[in-house]
Amino acid sequence: MKNIIGIIMACIMVFAFVSCDTKSTEKADETAKNSVNTTSDNETDASLENEFNAVYGQDPFAVIPGEYTAVGQRTKAVVTSPETDTLKIVITGSGGAAYSAEWTLEGKLDNSLRLTFKNSVLRLLTYDETGEIIEEKTDYTDGAGTVIFDKDAVKFTWNDEKSDCGAVVFVKN
């Protein structure tokens, strides 16, 4: 019975993310193709910081972190900067009161405000009637994809190749 419930939960989560807007996916794919990474592995993020300093008076790692909500979905994201040149994003999608999916991804932000991630983790969580986690299952640990922030750092587009959910647009709260 638990296996059937787990399969149903996974199907609900996949359905929620597969229903992403196709136009958003096409636009995100076009944006990704037009993005140019102007830094090499040996360069620092100084030019990115300088570009943001000119616009905001501060570095991108002070502007980007925060809470975001997916457009038209019950999905939230929390962006943090655990290291000076790294962003960590935890995305939580609700499948109702009893189920949720949680993606955790991390990567370095380049000059085009693009974060490419590998080894992201998807956890499926089941809750009891009090909201306590009663079951936690790691679905995968080898996710990959991109997160592209807009130039104002108030929204981003998430593309997860492993979940195949298309492009999901998040707006800063």
Question: What are the residue ranges spanned by the domains of the chain?
Answer: 2-35+44-172
Structure tokens at 87: 């962003």
- Give 138-150 pLDDT, tens digit per residue: 999 999 999 999 8
Q: Give the amino acid at 1.
A: M
Q: Provide the pLDDT for residue 58.
A: 63
CB atoms within 10 A of CB 33: 8
Number of H helices, E strands in the chain: 4, 8
- Give 10-48 pLDDT, tens digit per residue: 444 434 443 444 344 444 444 444 444 444 444 545 666
pTM for the structure as a whole: 0.70
How far apart (Å, rounded) are the C-alpha atoms in residues 114 and 128?
A: 38
Mean pLDDT (the chain) is 77
CB 164 within 8 A of CB 144: no
DSSP state letters, 27-39: HHHHHHHH-----
